[in-house]
């Protein structure tokens, strides 16, 4: 492993002090003179035609400054798949029709929140209710109600992946099994409710402060929906209280704040309530997954046929990308000589599903991992042994699609088996106890460009000063994961400076270089890290030239930046301080400041990502067979995220992922009555609290990703994937209940214990 000075060290977060003292400012904390408060009127019906809206009583209420409906706004639809405009299916406010309970119908801006709220009650909307569809099967059944006129099938997007001769593979298999899995939607449940504040500048341009993961995407889509030029819209991301995929599209309140600020000439702020977040907020896709997989007698995989329906809710949101990634991750982790995927994104009259930590992969991998464990059982093999036999390794390639440049998967499997005492515990089962494994792989940023940006995917500007400091400017969005700190570490390491020598300005579309696709798909460390290094190399080459000239060095010498100095390698006494070297360059440039831009766009890196992460997790559970309650005793995780830039941040990602994975497996779900979400508060939406968290042990494997900055790849999302399948397998090991439909509830466990062990549910297998 390469030795670093700052990378890989326990460096406190850039913003920790501000957050600990309460001085960190989030969007809702910002107040501007004359600011109006906005509220949204939402649809009480899951599917209805809007016959008419009367806003006159609301407008007449003293203190109300602006009321708008879908009639008032430019008829421009938006969506993140700009490359395929037909997928852009959303207006900020409903036009003609509402498609889910909570769909935004009208907006009010008033001098205070109480008046805005009162005004909502004075808006009269006449609806003509339409039949709705609330699950995948009824949405695609013949004679189904059509949710969007442009899409008579209700299947808005399909994605196919195919390679190898699958029919031949199954024919030549000794063991073929088919299973059906269903997974449920869950909430991002970020602590900070969405908030946006817009101001119309004196020259008519818009500035929007918003709680977002994707400032650049908001800038572009806000410009198009306001019918303005992109450069006339400035998006600033203040501190953001978590996102997890739920804040990565333009949303109604962002548009309304900007539109109403233009209309009234006053700043307008919208902040959602928690009830709105749960009732109408984005969620992880529920899916129905059909998986057929073939093996040779010795456990070697022959092929997989994977057919998935995504319950998309009323709009596409990030569903199209999830449809693709679900298919990609159906074929990751193991070597499938042949593979066929068909994923279909289905509209239903429910709140739209979207990206959520893992972005299609948690669902695909829950199915994959559960099926691997079932197959191991039936083949008479140990689940880890079957995985080892088929595990992907460094250098594996899926032709024209993806190359795995670094892969610590086998090491992860070996490590978790050792840490958890796997053999001993599987070999000597204790009553009510069980141990199970789940694995993951994830992307380090997407190589695809469905947003159709004309700019680099990531960019950085580095300015250096003769006082020995530097200023890093990047559009990267720190939403709590800590990329500001990680990128500063990468720059400090590269320039040989200290953390305190570096100032950072981030996520302001008017002040930081174009562009950045945002904080999603675990892309910032690799993509922006590479952009930062690109800029740093350009700076260093100028500094090296100056030092070389100053000391009249032979051209064969190489140089380095370290400990605040710039010097020829091996001759630290001949160099200059960083600030002196900068001053030399400035002199040579007759005063022109020294700055450089760096960029990263993955080229020739396949269709998915430049680098995949891998890992494995073991869960041990105790199940009370009288109550069906699952008590997770401990987790063991070994993961390969390449070089660890910031160990505490990486551990924090894992620990948070376990909380989310634990909730996904056991306690979190939306209780729905048709299209209505019933549990719209934290009391009834049960995400794990501090007392619910089991202990956990982790090992960061020593791997190096050649495409990553200083060898790094992703650590933000993949870790959220293995927990549910690991718990499910452990519960099976403890009770014989095999979960094929998340979440794992006491009711399901008790029912399974009551029923005979021979019950096989919706699955079948053939052994030749």
Q: Cβ-count burial of 106 within 10 angstroms (0-12 exposed, 13-18 middle, 19+ buried)?
A: buried
Closest separation in Å from C-beta 222 to another protein = 23
One residue of 191, 202, 555, 556 binding another protein per CB under 8 A: 191
Residue 449 engages another protein in binding (rule: CB under 8 A) = no
Closest distance between another protein and the C-beta of residue 189, in Å?
5
Choice between 388 and 687, CB closer to another protein? 687
Q: Tell me if 26 contacts another protein by CB under 8 A.
A: yes
Choice from 192, 344, 640, 729 touching another protein (CB under 8 A): 192
Question: To the nearest whole angstrom, how small is the minimum distance from the Cβ of residue 113 to another protein?
Answer: 9
* Residue 693: burial class (beta carbons within 10 Å; 0-12, 13-18, 19+): middle
State how far the Cα of 697 lies from the Cα of 695, in Å rounded to an integer: 7
Beta-strand ranges (E) seen in 603-689 are: 612-623, 630-640, 672-673, 676-677
User: How many angstroms separate the CA atoms of 748 and 763, rounded?
Assistant: 17
The DSSP H or E segment spanning 378 is: helix 361-379
∠ Cα 63 67 68 (to 5°) = 165
Residues 443 and 715: their CA atoms lie apart, in Å, by 9
Residue 61, Ramachandran bin (φ over 0: left; ψ between -120 and 50: alpha; else beta): beta
The answer to the question of residue 16 lying near another protein (CB under 8 A) is yes
With contact defined as beta carbons under 8 Å apart, do 40 and 273 qualify? no
When asked if residue 654 is in the footprint of another protein (CB under 8 A), the reply is: yes
Query: Nearest approach, Cβ of 22 to another protein (angstroms)?
Result: 2
Residue 393: C-alpha distances to residues 396, 405, 410, 420, 430 (Å): 6, 9, 7, 23, 34
Nearest distance from C-beta of residue 509 to another protein, angstroms: 21
Residue from 81, 134, 175, 190 that binds another protein (CB under 8 A)? Answer: 190
Out of 5, 300, 390, 659, name the contact with another protein by CB under 8 A: 659
Residue from 8, 132, 193, 711 that binds another protein (CB under 8 A)?
193
- Residue 655 within binding range of another protein, rule CB under 8 A: yes
| Residue selected from 93, 105, 122, 189 as contacting another protein according to rule CB under 8 A | 189
Contact set for another protein, span 471-510 (CB under 8 A):
479-482
Question: Pattern 661-700, binding to another protein, x per CB under 8 A?
Answer: --------------------xxx---x-xxx-x--x----
- How near is the Cβ of 673 to another protein at its closest, in Å? 21
* Under 8 Å between Cβ of 461 and 472: yes
CB of 405 to another protein, least distance (A): 29
Cis-peptide into 743, omega within 30 deg: yes
Choose, by CB under 8 A, the member of 4, 5, 9, 29 that binds another protein: 29
Nearer to another protein by Cβ, of 278 and 527: the residue is: 278
541 within 8 A of 464, measured Cβ to Cβ: no
741 binds another protein (CB under 8 A): no
657 binds another protein (CB under 8 A): yes
Q: Per CB under 8 A, does 6 bind another protein? A: no
Instruction: At 728, give phi and psi (nearest 5°).
Output: -60, -45
Report the SS3 class of residue 120.
helix
Return the ∠ at Cα 567 (arms to 563 and 568), rounded to 5°. Answer: 135
How many chain residues are in contact with another protein, going by CB under 8 A?
55
Give how far Cα 273 sits from Cα of 65, 68, 209, 281, 756, Å: 21, 20, 18, 10, 47
Nearer of residues 238 and 575 to another protein, judged by Cβ: 238
145: contact with another protein by CB under 8 A: no
Strand partners, 492: none
- Separation in Å, CA 182 to CA 488, 512, 601, 764: 42, 43, 36, 16
Q: Is 590 in the site for another protein (CB under 8 A)?
A: no
Q: How far is the CB of 362 from another protein (least distance, A)?
A: 16
Looking from the CA of 704 toward its CB, the CA atoms found within 13 Å total 5
Which positions from 30 through 49 interact with another protein, judged by CB under 8 A? 31
Supply the DSSP symbol for 381. Answer: -
Residue with tokens 């073939």: 294
Residues 199-258 that bind another protein (CB under 8 A): 239-242, 244
Pairwise CA distance, residues 45 & 350, whole Å: 10
Q: Closest separation between CB of residue 752 and another protein, Å? A: 29
Q: Tell the smallest beta-carbon distance from residue 741 to another protein (Å).
A: 25
C-alpha to C-alpha distance for 636 and 439, rounded to whole angstroms: 11
The verdict on 170 binding another protein (CB under 8 A) reads no
Nearer to another protein, 273 or 766 (CB): 273
* Residue 681 C-alpha from the chain's centroid: 23
Minimal distance, residue 622 CB to another protein, in Å: 17
Query: With respect to another protein, which residue has the nearer C-beta, 442 or 544?
Result: 442
Please report, as residue ranges, which positions from 630 to 649 form the binding site for another protein (by CB under 8 A): 648-649
656 makes contact with another protein (CB under 8 A):
yes
CB of 348 to another protein, least distance (A): 26
Q: What is the 3-state secondary structure (H, E, C) of 58-87?
A: HHHCCCEEEEEECCCCCCCCECCCCCCHHH
Residue 401 binds another protein, judged by CB under 8 A: no
d(CA 366, CA 289): 10
Q: Which is nearer to another protein, 91 or 209 (CB)?
A: 209
Residues that bind another protein (CB under 8 A): 10, 12-13, 15-26, 28-29, 31, 188-193, 239-242, 244, 273-274, 479-482, 648-649, 651-652, 654-660, 681-683, 687, 689-691, 693, 696
């Amino acid at each position: 492993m390469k030795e670093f000075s700052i990378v890989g060290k326990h460096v406190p977060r850039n913003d920790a002090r501000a957050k600990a003292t309460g001085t960190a400012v989030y969007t809702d904390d910002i107040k501007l003179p004359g600011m109006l408060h906005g509220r949204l009127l939402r649809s009480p019906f899951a599917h209805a035609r809007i016959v008419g809206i009367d806003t006159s009583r609301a407008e007449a209420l003293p203190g109300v400054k602006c009321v708008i409906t879908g009639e008032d706004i430019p008829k421009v639809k938006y969506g993140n798949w700009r490359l395929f405009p037909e997928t852009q299916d959303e207006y900020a406010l409903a036009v003609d029709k509402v498609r889910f309970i909570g769909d935004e119908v009208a907006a009010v801006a008033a001098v205070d929140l109480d008046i805005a709220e009162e005004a909502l009650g004075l808006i009269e909307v006449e609806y003509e209710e339409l039949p709705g569809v609330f699950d995948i099967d009824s949405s695609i059944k013949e004679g189904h109600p059509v949710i969007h006129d442009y899409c008579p099938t209700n299947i808005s997007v399909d994605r196919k992946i195919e390679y190898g001769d699958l029919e031949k593979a199954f024919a030549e298999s000794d063991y073929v099994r088919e299973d059906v899995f269903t997974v449920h939607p869950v909430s991002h449940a970020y602590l900070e409710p969405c908030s946006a504040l817009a101001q119309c500048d004196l020259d008519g341009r818009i500035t929007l402060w918003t709680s977002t993961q994707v400032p650049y995407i908001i800038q572009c889509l806000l410009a198009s929906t306001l019918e303005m030029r992109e450069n006339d819209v400035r998006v600033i991301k203040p501190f953001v209280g978590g996102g997890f995929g739920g804040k990565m599209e333009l949303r109604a309140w962002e548009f309304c704040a900007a539109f109403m600020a233009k209309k009234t000439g006053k700043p307008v702020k919208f902040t959602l309530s928690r009830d709105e977040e749960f009732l109408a907020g984005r969620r992880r896709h529920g899916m129905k997954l059909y998986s057929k997989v073939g093996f040779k007698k010795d456990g070697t995989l022959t092929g997989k046929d994977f057919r998935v329906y995504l319950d998309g809710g009323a709009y596409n949101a990030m569903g199209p990308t999830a449809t693709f990634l679900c298919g990609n991750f159906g074929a990751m982790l193991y070597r499938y000589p042949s593979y066929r995927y068909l994923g279909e994104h289905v509209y239903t009259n429910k709140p739209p599903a979207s990206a959520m930590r893992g972005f299609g992969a948690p669902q695909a991998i829950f199915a994959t991992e559960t099926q691997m464990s079932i197959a191991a059982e039936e083949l008479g093999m140990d689940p880890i042994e079957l995985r080892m036999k088929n595990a992907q390794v460094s250098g594996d390639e899926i032709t024209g699609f993806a190359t795995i440049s670094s892969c610590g998967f086998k090491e992860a499997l070996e490590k978790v088996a050792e840490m958890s005492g796997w053999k001993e515990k599987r070999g000597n089962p204790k009553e009510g106890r069980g141990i199970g494994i789940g694995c993951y792989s994830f992307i380090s940023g997407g190589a695809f460009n469905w947003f159709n940006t004309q700019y680099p995917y990531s960019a950085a500007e580095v300015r250096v000063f003769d006082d020995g400091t530097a200023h890093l400017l990047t559009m990267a969005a720190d939403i709590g994961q800590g990329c500001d700190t990680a990128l500063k570490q990468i720059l400090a390491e590269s320039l040989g400076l200290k953390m305190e020598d570096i100032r950072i300005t981030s996520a302001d579309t008017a002040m930081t270089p174009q562009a950045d696709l945002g904080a999603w798909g675990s892309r910032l460390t690799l993509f922006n890290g590479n952009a930062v290094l690109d800029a740093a190399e350009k700076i260093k080459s100028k500094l090296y030239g100056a030092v070389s000239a100053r000391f009249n060095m032979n051209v064969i010498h190489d140089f380095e930046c370290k400990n605040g100095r710039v010097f020829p390698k091996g001759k630290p006494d001949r160099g200059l301080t960083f600030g002196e070297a900068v001053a030399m360059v400035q002199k040579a440039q007759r005063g022109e400041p020294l700055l450089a831009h760096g960029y990263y766009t993955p080229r020739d890196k396949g269709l998915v990502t430049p680098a995949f992460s891998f890992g494995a997790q073991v869960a041990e559970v105790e199940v009370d067979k009288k109550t069906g309650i699952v008590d997770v005793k401990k987790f063991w995780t070994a993961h390969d995220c390449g070089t660890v830039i910031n160990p505490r941040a990486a551990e924090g990602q894992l620990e948070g992922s376990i909380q989310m994975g634990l909730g996904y497996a056991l306690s979190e779900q939306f209780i729905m009555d048709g299209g209505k979400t019933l549990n719209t508060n934290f009391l009834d939406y049960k995400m794990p609290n501090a007392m619910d968290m089991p202990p956990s042990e982790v090992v960061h494997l020593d791997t190096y990703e050649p495409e990553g900055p200083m060898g790094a790849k992703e650590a933000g999302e993949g870790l959220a994937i293995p927990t549910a399948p690991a718990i499910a397998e452990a519960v099976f090991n403890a009770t014989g209940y095999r979960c094929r439909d998340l979440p794992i509830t006491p009711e399901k466990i008790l029912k399974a214990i009551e029923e005979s062990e021979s019950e096989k549910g919706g699955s079948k297998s053939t052994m030749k």
